[in-house]
Amino acid sequence: MGIVYFVGAGPGGEGLLTLKGAEKLKTCDVVIYDRLASEGLLKMLKPGCKKIYAGKQAGKHYRKQEEINSLLTEYALKDNIVVRLKGGDSFVFGRGTEEIDALNQYNIPYEVIPGVTSAIAVPECAGIPVTHRGISRSFHVITGHTDTSTGAPECNYKALADMGGTLVFMMGLANINEITGNLIKEGMAEETPAAVISGGTTKEQKVIRSKLGDIAEKSRKNNMFSPAVIVIGETAAYRYIYNGKKAGIVATKALMEKIETGLDIAGIGCVPVCEMEVSAVNIQELVKELDNIEKYNWIVFTSRNGVILFFQALKDNYTDIRRLSGIKFAVIGSGTKEELHKYGINADFIPSGYTSSILAKELAEIILPGENVLLPRAVKGSRELTDIFRQENISFKEVKIYDVKGHLLPGADKTGHLDCIIFLSASGVKEFTRLIKSTGKKLPSGIKLVCIGEITKKALEEEFGNSFDIIMADGNNAEGVINAVREKI
């Protein structure tokens, strides 16, 4: 027989999972997770772990509770280690006890691993304490819906209105009109401070503060969304948030996570505004060159993406890596050098400056007559490199193996609260400006633009001219960008 671990996933932010909860996620065979458990936590799962979504929201149950109970017993009885991953804490409006009752019918062992409850953490991360000496000596957590997940909760509103302290309503956004209206009807002052926090502790967190009398209307006008926590009481007016630097970022997901980690360590808030996605193209053309790879003397990479896709194609085509033994490698900068090193290859050439023109000019000086160059790179790669190769009569084969597209994230609506936006590529600049123009968005005056390298700076100048201050990082890597934001913003 297996075992079931009830793991509280916390309020939404991936870093708020407990260490013990993370340990169980890394070792389980099956995970059954709900809508409020961050899907980012699923990255911790071991290969082959079965993932079962059991999300619920008001009026839209992906799986009924009875079905979830059956899944837990079914997989545990098959000798699996099962994690039931539930948003917040399993015992705070999480129906964890009902699921345990189902396991007890079969005498299935289980363990409960507490989670950080949204009732306290979400207001706290919005700067709202649920208690405060001399202001609120108690807090009360109330479900915001009925047993059927629709309709207003059947509460003793008279008692709630009279007891004082801080009221925290969970899952009550759909019923906020009824909740606030009944509290006022039972004697709570319309001037009582109130707040609604949507997407608390995550990058999508959105907070509005007002008064009990109009918080419902303001929630509607501001398009507040679920999951949301409603806080009512004197402490809802507090804003215990340090307003440090905030940087927006335009990058691929992998680079975004790297920059975000570094900024967080430096005490700088990171707001993703546009995610760039790399898509492979013309891979069959690259495969043709791999079949005759020995004819090349040099392979030139101008980005990490080119390195990754090249070696993926090498693997997928079952090309023996030893066939590269007589080839030299040139890379445009330290980031590309690091990526190449992951495959056990040290770069033979790195230019003195991290631009395509400098790479081409300096490489042209050392390539011998008759040597052939393979250039796997982006569809929108700089023409300077190939133009210089032609001028220098260098024999090369350009294979455009990937394209980069972007899509705006919720942070694109928050540029007015940012000190700067970070761009890590010229393609990111082009995509971001195309997208904001197509949606009618405008960057606020005074915001600074931080970039990596001369090419990205040039792209910013082409798009924005002198409208904004442009700051180029000293190093062509993530550390250089982080230092630029820390020291110059």
Please indicate whether residue 147 is annotated as part of the active site: no
Domain co-membership, 270 together with 322: no
Please indicate whether residue 171 is annotated as part of the active site: yes
Looking at residue 147, its pLDDT comes to 54
Among candidate residues 24, 29, 44, 56, the one labeled active-site is 56
The pLDDT tens digits for 13-49 are 888 999 999 999 999 999 999 877 677 899 899 999 9
Domain co-membership, 305 together with 205: no
3-state secondary structure 302-327: CCHHHHHHHHHHHHHCCCCHHHHCCC
Last residue of a domain, one of 179, 212, 237: 237
Last residue of a domain, one of 115, 134, 168: 115
Domain co-membership, 378 together with 274: no
Among candidate residues 24, 89, 170, 171, the one labeled active-site is 171
In this structure, what token pair is assigned to residue 201?
């502790």
Q: Are 476 and 453 in contact (CB under 8 A)?
A: yes
CA nearest neighbour of 380 among 305, 452, 477: 305
Strands 328-331 and 298-301: parallel
Which residues in the chain land under pLDDT 50?
Answer: 59, 149
CATH number of residue 50's parent domain: 3.40.1010.10
Last residue of a domain, one of 58, 88, 115: 115
Question: Domain range for residue 214?
Answer: 120-237
The pLDDT tens digits for 326-351 are 999 999 888 899 999 999 999 999 99
Among candidate residues 24, 29, 34, 170, the one labeled active-site is 34
Looking at residue 152, its pLDDT comes to 61
Domain co-membership, 314 together with 393: yes
CATH number of residue 191's parent domain: 3.30.950.10
Vertex 130: Cα angle to 172 and 117 (nearest 5): 60
Looking at residue 414, its pLDDT comes to 86
CA nearest neighbour of 335 among 352, 321, 354, 349: 354
Please indicate whether residue 224 is annotated as part of the active site: no
Give the number of domains in the chain. Answer: 4
